[in-house]
Amino acid sequence: MQKQGYSPSSCYYGVQSLQSLARRVDLLNPELVKEFLARATFSESRKLRLTYELIRFYKWKGIPFEPPHYRHMDKLPFIPLEAEIDALISGSGRKTASLLLLLKETGMRVGEAWSAKWTDLDLERRLIIVRPEKGSNSRALKISDRLISMLNLLPKPSPFIFRLSSQDPITSVLHARRNFEGQRKRLAEKLQNPRLMQIHFHTLRHFKATMEYQKTRDILHVMRLLGHRNIMHTLTYTHLVDFHSDDYICKVAKTVNEVTALIESGFEYVTDFEDAKLFRKRK
């Protein structure tokens, strides 16, 4: 996979998948593997991903293999409430909270955030330059003053914002994920909100894409935001979610400063009413 130009993360997770499968069945016997997959309670999508890994593995080993037929099953992603994401951010440690807020505001992949360097920050224009992965486009994304303040409080022993230069990127991401999962579990128990357990790093990419599409109805804007080269990839992030009226909080603004503050906080303008402007944002 490395020789074929696959990313380090693809190589790592491909090997991990095969090792997990090898603990359950003899990988060198394709018929036994197919029988195991047929009986396994894995989802169709997971079986399909495993089949791709097996095709590469058997080609490398020179073993004949007729792959089984599985289909990718689309499902609506879990989109948490913004208040739930904010609760996670507030209840996490300084480094984890900064990472979560960055993912929430930009929709970056966690791998892209993990590759971010201090030199990628443009504090004057409040931008961060994204180093793309998975064949995506590079892009410059807006970040808030709050996020800049949180990032400035982090120690700077390395050119990278979230990891040391000596650390392996894949291993350090896995460590950060396990650390986040521990903090998430404690907070879900403390707040008695099991929905928090459904929030992962990639959930925040879905959240950002869905909110941007709901706000702008511009799929090309969301495509550029996510760095996709193919619009079909973007469509998987912008499932049409039915936002009911009781899913919103409303605010009233009468001055320019109030309007500016609401827009910067993600509120969208609705209408004028009695010399005031009404704004709304999903809860």
Instruction: Write the pLDDT tens digit of every residue in 186-200.
Output: 999 999 999 999 999
Residue 101 has pLDDT above 50, yes or no: yes
Spell 6-22 as b/e; 16+ CB within 10 A means b: eeebbebebeebeeebe
Q: Which two tokens stand for residue 106?
A: 């930009």
Please say whether the beta carbons of 146 and 108 come within 8 A: no
Q: Compute the distance between CA of residue 262 and CA of residue 282 in angstroms, rounded to an integer.
A: 13
Please say whether the beta carbons of 209 and 225 come within 8 A: yes
Q: Compute the distance between CA of residue 149 and CA of residue 197 in angstroms, rounded to an integer.
A: 27
Q: What value does the mean pLDDT of the chain take? A: 88
User: What is the mean predicted confidence (pLDDT) over 205-228?
Assistant: 86
Please say whether the beta carbons of 108 and 126 come within 8 A: no
Residue 60 has pLDDT above 60, yes or no: yes
Range in 44-58, 160-174, 240-254 with the lowest mean pLDDT: 240-254
Q: Where are the domains of the chain?
A: 8-61, 82-235, 245-282
Residue 92 has pLDDT above 80, yes or no: yes
| Helix 201-216 and helix 94-106, axial crossing angle in degrees, nearest 10 | 30
Question: For 106-164, how does the pLDDT look when each residue is reduced to its tens digit (9 = 90+)?
Answer: 999 998 999 999 999 999 999 999 988 767 788 999 999 999 999 999 999 999 999 98
Backbone φ, ψ for residue 18 (5° rounding): -70, -40
- Other C-beta atoms lying within 10 Å of the C-beta of residue 222: 25
Instruction: Give, as one character, the DSSP assignment of residue 280.
Output: E
Please give the CATH topology (third level) of the domain spanning 82-235. hpI Integrase; Chain A (1.10.443)
Question: For 227-262, how does the pLDDT look when each residue is reduced to its tens digit (9 = 90+)?
Answer: 888 887 787 766 545 555 456 778 888 898 888 888
Q: What is the pTM of this model?
A: 0.75
